[in-house]
Amino acid sequence: MKQVKNDEAFVAFERVQKSYDGEVLVVKDLNLTIPKGEFLTLLGPSGSGKTTCLMMLAGFETATHGDIRLDGVSVNNIPPHKRGIGMVFQNYALFPHMTVGENLSFPLEVRKMGKAERETKVKRALDMVQMGDFAARRPAQMSGGQQQRVALARALVFEPELVLMDEPLGALDKQLRETLQFEITNLAHELGITVVYVTHDQTEALTMSDRVAVFDDGRIQQLAPPDELYEKPINSFVAQFIGENNTLTGVVQEIGADRCTVRLDSGDIIDAMPVNVNAVGDRTKVSIRPERVEIDKTRLQPGAHTLKAEVLEFIYMGDIFRTRLRVAGTDEFVIKTRNAPDQVRLTPGTQIEIGWLAQDCRALDA
């Protein structure tokens, strides 16, 4: 992962709110600073306010309250075309009547650039996205992936320091999406540009970003690097939204600084990290990742609690085995084990015992 060069805020949202109808706030109280060169993703379910945030930064929507700054300057009264921001959206929005070359040349003409310089820049931008041979084509004569590469080149051609992308790969098939994810992050890092990227696809967010802001209901639920989001979710929404997660519900029975004991609704007792619970008697959802569950008791701490489980389903997935269990009253408990030569393949109907390290199990809000 790239090191961000300085911590100064290049983009800053301060106490930003947005309402379209004067009543409902679709963005509630956004505070977010993005350093230069960072690849930051807004991730969240549909309707959570991601596009609205991007549109306010681009200047196509105005904030109802608060301040947005770009390189230290408040942009509230600067029109979109004067903000110097490159943009890519899901539905390409290339001009259909123009060739690829003309599409790229257009933002440069708007900036009153001379012909020779325009040609150099267009060529360079197309080469960057491996579309150098396509300058004479029209959008209708290209595949979706090719059009999206051109859209990317068009966003980069005037060498903006900031590029906004709203679900730019949403319309493409999985393999092409993965290729372009890789190309976009490489290009962004090579050029040193700052990217604010929007997606509802958590895998995309985790693989591409330096940091991810998880959105729900107009608020940032957690802002962190990908590994921290996955391994240290701070609430149940994030634990559930990022990656695969097992949830068991219960009540906090004892609580200390870094351990709590939870009595599950099934009556079983387990140990967990108290993350988003405060006191004895609090209801909690405990969260445990499928790959952190141990079926080999020798790998647990002495005295660790274990739970009885019945194997319901065993799925061979090549690199891993995914096993569904009945545990503490739920039939949806999933564990993942590596396909190693000594790893047992669990047969449905088998009774086993499972456990985990308390630090891998997080007691979150109910």
Ligand X SMILES: Nc1ncnc2c1ncn2[C@@H]1O[C@H](COP(=O)(O)OP(=O)(O)O)[C@@H](O)[C@H]1O
Q: What one-letter code names the amino acid at 352?
A: I
User: Is-contact 85 162, C-beta < 8 A?
Assistant: yes
For residue 87, list its beta bridge partners.
Answer: 164
3-state secondary structure of 85: strand
Closest approach, Cβ 92 to ligand X, in A, equals 18
For residue 107 the two structure tokens come to 């933002």
For residue 139 the two structure tokens come to 């959008």
Is 51 or 337 the residue whose CB approaches Mg ion more closely? 51
Closest approach, Cβ 169 to Mg ion, in A, equals 13
**Which residues, at least 6 apart from 340, have a Cβ–Cβ distance to it below 8 Å?**
none
Residue 20 interface partner, choices ligand X, Mg ion, none, CB cut-off 5-8 Å depending on type: ligand X
The contact set with ligand X (CB under 6 A) reads: 20, 26, 44, 46-52
Residue 118 interface partner, choices Mg ion, ligand X, none, CB cut-off 5-8 Å depending on type: none
d(CA 243, CA 229): 9
User: Is-contact 357 318, C-beta < 8 A?
Assistant: no
Residue 236 interface partner, choices ligand X, Mg ion, none, CB cut-off 5-8 Å depending on type: none
3-state secondary structure of 134: helix
Site for Mg ion in 68-87 (CB under 5 A): none
User: Is-contact 56 214, C-beta < 8 A?
Assistant: no
Closest approach, Cβ 133 to ligand X, in A, equals 35
Is 24 or 110 the residue whose CB approaches ligand X more closely? 24
User: Is-contact 138 99, C-beta < 8 A?
Assistant: yes
Is 47 or 170 the residue whose CB approaches ligand X more closely? 47
Is 51 near Mg ion (CB under 5 A)? Answer: yes
Closest approach, Cβ 85 to ligand X, in A, equals 17
Residue 103 interface partner, choices ligand X, Mg ion, none, CB cut-off 5-8 Å depending on type: none
Is 48 near Mg ion (CB under 5 A)? Answer: no
Is 144 or 170 the residue whose CB approaches ligand X more closely? 170
Closest approach, Cβ 195 to ligand X, in A, equals 17
Q: Residues in the site for Mg ion, rule: CB under 5 A?
A: 51
